[in-house]
Amino acid sequence: MKMDKAAKKSKRAARAGKEVVLPGLAVSPGVAIGSAHLRESGEIRVLEYQIGASAVDDEQARFRQAVTKAKRQLDRLKNKATRFHGAAAEELGFLLEAHHQMLGSSRLLSGVEQRIATARQNAEAAVAEEIAEIAAAFEQVDDPYLRSRAEEVREVGMRIVRTLSDQKLSDFSALPRGSIVIAETVTPADTALMDPREIGGFATVMGGAEGHTAIMARSLGLPAVLGVAGLLEAAHTGDTLIVDGSNGAVIVNPAEETLAEYQQRRRAFKREARALDRLRDVPASTRDGERISLAVNLELPREIDQAVTVGAEGVGLLRTEFLYMNRDDLPDEDEQYDALRNIVEAMDGRAVTIRTLDVGGEKLMSALGETLEDSANPALGLRAIRFSLTQRKLFEAQLAAILRASAHGPVRILLPMITTVSEVREVRKALNTVIRRLRRRKVKIADPLPPLGVMIEVPGAALAADSLARVSDFFAIGTNDLTMYTLAIDRGEERVAHLYNPLHPAVLRSIQFSVEAALRARIPVSVCGEMAGDPRYTALFLGLGVRELSMTANALPRVKSRILNLDLQAAVRRASVIMDQFDSGRIAALLDDFNALA
């Protein structure tokens, strides 16, 4: 196979002491230079055996004791997290809390105990099978972020199995300062054990940009490259290594001149990081004075502090799925209201765009298990607004909670996966029903009412943007799904992931149609997909007429820096040239040339 030959070639070169450059995914920017340390695989062998009927109670008790012990381990990790600052502590806190919730999940607990009782499996085997089933359900989700949670589920399962079999996880405290960790895979919890003052960075064979390992690395400021084929064949403990987390490369046995070059890059990166921190209170304006609004996408309430820290001007996309996850019952109106009100109040007068529930037929949330059915293709089935409109009681409870939260600060309501005008009109009817009910109860809501906007994330919506603009108060363009649906490519499918290209002319024209429709209708339009958080695309969006961008909090300072150095009129001219192209390679070249010069 081609990959095997490449790995063998790298291995031979490394053994000969030659410089070897291995490409990978750039998931956490920065440059690390240090001595490699091979982290042995965390995989553990799961013992499987049958137990007798008389041993069921004892085996179930052994399982529950292991869960209790695993929870105590997480509590200790939480205490350890207090040494981190800001985003890292937030991210780790969220991660550990999610793991804690999974350990308390009735689905997991009852599922394992049932397997022990009915299949007479030992606890380790029962945990392994139950975890595999739950993780498989997550992997069916089309949302990359949610799909990546399968990794966490497996990690929780490994923790229980490790506890059951009394195996301990070694940490990194004994490594020499500045070491670079290399491994087949590194879990988020492994990453939490890496002290950025002691560990230089890490690289792995497995992993993706959407996983929590990558998020943790970015939060901790650890340079990291994931998905490096041939890494463990070429690099060994003690080798000198460079991890280029900005460009996605690992260099084994760097030549003297390469080493000097990267030492210079590392100094420059640190200078830039310090400069970005100073941009927090600087308005995002182009050099010729055009003001751009920069907001954040939020998955969880815990992320608010980070959003405020980086100077976000609002929440451009609040995903409400967190209210329904890791539980077996549905949140009522009051519970949703309390959660949303806290977020709105925490943003202290800055607008919060709340997206209504976006789930599909993938059995993601056990709380919705009875209302969701299997779908042959979840991405094209009963999901998002289609699902909400079939569950009026559920939907109206969410709308009521949002309207009540709007009394505490500026709120916008965002509808996912809209494809037709009739869907928006049907939502407005439901909204009016809820408004009348709240007013009869003399419940306070915002006056004027929150704007009602739609996500532009499928080609049908982009091509019908003129019609949708007539019934919508604003647009939010979701570039992730828009690219996936336009090109019919799932990034999670390894065999076609390389074809996923947001610079494909069809994707860009869909964005252009949507922006122009919004501008003609004089309604706001924002971009909230991954492209919004990548400075590479900033000039193109501004050139197309976008003035609102929403992204992860970590990405905001770099996008702001890009805006501050942009000339809007030059960006408009370059966008015009780009939109005349029909080849994505030519488009990329034109964009990158502009970014290099302007």
CA atoms within 13 A on the CB side of 359: 27
Long-range contacts of 158-161 (CB under 8 A, 24+ apart): 158/42, 158/43, 158/44, 158/187, 159/70, 159/73, 159/99, 159/189, 160/63, 160/66, 160/67, 160/70, 160/103, 160/127, 161/44, 161/46, 161/124, 161/127, 161/128
Q: 547: burial class by Cβ within 10 Å (0-12, 13-18, 19+)? A: middle
How far apart (Å, rounded) are the C-alpha atoms in residues 295 and 310?
10
Q: What secondary structure letter does DSSP report for 250? A: E
Structure tokens at 220: 């901790």
- What radius of gyration, in Å, describes the C-alpha atoms of the chain? 25
Identify whether 524 is preceded by a cis peptide bond (ω within 30 of 0).
no
Task: Please give the structure tokens belonging to residue 548.
Answer: 């609102």
What's the rounded Cα separation, in Å, for the pair 539 and 594? Answer: 8
Q: How far is CA 16 from CA 20, 36, 60, in A?
A: 10, 17, 54
DSSP 8-state class, residue 47: P
Fill in the amino acid letter for 296. V
Asked whether 561 and 535 are in contact (CB, 8 A), the reply is: yes
Return the number of other C-beta atoms located less than 10 Å from residue 120's C-beta: 16
Least Cα distance to 115 among 103, 127, 106 occurs for 127
Residue 85 annotated in active site: no
Is 498 in the active site?
Answer: no
Cα–Cα distance for residue pair 179/237, rounded to 1 Å = 10
**126 near 116, Cβ under 8 Å?**
yes
Q: What residues contact residue 372 under an 8 Å CB cut-off, 6+ apart?
A: 359, 360, 361, 362, 363, 365, 382, 387
CA distance 318 to 42: 35
Which of 106, 126, 105, 159 lies closest to 60, judged by CA? Answer: 126
| Cross-strand partners of 181 | 37, 202
Cα–Cα distance measured from residue 494 to residue 492, given in angstroms and rounded to the nearest whole number: 6
DSSP string, 538-585: HHHHHHHT--EEEE-GGGHHHHHHHHHT--HHHHHHHHHHHTT---HH
DSSP 8-class letter at 291: B
Residues with Cβ within 8 Å of 258's Cβ and at least 6 positions away in sequence, in order, are 19, 242, 251
d(CA 343, CA 341): 5
- Given the residues 37, 99, 504, 528, select the one marked as catalytic: 528
- Of 212, 236, 408, 498, the active-site residue reads 212
Bridge partners, residue 476, by sequence: 455, 526
- What are phi and psi for residue 437, nearest 5 degrees? -65, -45
- Positions marked catalytic: 212, 528
